[in-house]
Chain A
């Protein structure tokens, strides 16, 4: 059972905006930066967001992140078919002294 909780699935149609959530606690999300990954099965995960809301170079601005207290969100605007993937949040946990990944959300583009 993950320290960080994500809904197992989400779906939306092309062009829509979708919000993926990640819930944690005081020892991780509430006090430390959250990162988000996109993982297409068979490929390597890709860093989409770091430090709650920062995009690495090359990541489209359709992807945005935010954090409030012990929860974080990834918003994908103008959803495209190629956004169909698994999305993971990740953060350091100060109690475990370890990186915690959420269980992942499988995003289906209808």
Chain B
């Protein structure tokens, strides 16, 4: 299971920081750990994902502002999005790409999701 946590309100030009805690399994498992968001009235947008060994991929439109990293001792991973604006107001989901039943990686197949957390950018 995955659970997002972090501030619900961020000031413009600040940094949005969210954490996703994985329970019932290790962050060391051979999965990729991702963040996806949905702005009000919009569709799903992939933010990026990381592997516990340090590799990461990011949405080109957000790459200059995003860092996704794994916190191994605490079995969680995090999202940092800098220089936020109102356009970054969204529900943020963390997700796991991969399944024990699927040994071969299928990119973009997110089997497990957190419930999502709403973050507003406002002063």
Give the interface of A toward B (CB within 8 A). 2, 32-33, 35, 37, 39, 43-47, 50-51, 56-57, 86, 88, 90-92, 96-104
Given contacts A50-B109, A96-B60, A98-B60, contact A37 B115 (CB under 8 A): no
CA distance A51 to B97 in the complex (A): 13
Give the residue among B44, B46, B108, B116 with the most A Cβ atoms within 10 A. B108
Contact B44 A35 (CB under 8 A): no
Contact A57 B101 (CB under 8 A): yes
A-B contacts, CB under 8 A, total: 75
Q: From residue A88, how far is it (CB to closest CB) to chain B in Å?
A: 5
User: Interface size on B (CB < 8 Å)?
Assistant: 26
CB-CB under 8 A from B99, the residues of chain A are 56
Q: From residue A93, how far is it (CB to closest CB) to chain B in Å?
A: 9
CB-CB under 8 A from B53, the residues of chain A are none
| Identity of the chain B residue whose Cβ is nearest the Cβ of A51 in the assembled complex | B106
Give the interface of B toward A (CB within 8 A). 34, 36, 43-46, 49, 57-60, 93, 95, 99, 101-102, 106-111, 113-116
Contact A100 B110 (CB under 8 A): no
CB-CB under 8 A from A100, the residues of chain B are 46, 108
Q: From residue B45, how far is it (CB to closest CB) to chain A in Å?
A: 7
Contact A45 B107 (CB under 8 A): no
Q: From residue B118, how far is it (CB to closest CB) to chain A in Å?
A: 10
Is chain A's binding surface mostly helix, strand, loop or mixed? strand
CB-CB under 8 A from A45, the residues of chain B are 36, 44, 93, 95, 110, 113
CB-CB under 8 A from A46, the residues of chain B are 113
CB-CB under 8 A from B109, the residues of chain A are 33, 35, 47, 50-51, 90
Contact B111 A47 (CB under 8 A): yes
CA distance A101 to B35 in the complex (A): 13
| Identity of the chain A residue whose Cβ is nearest the Cβ of B94 in the assembled complex | A44
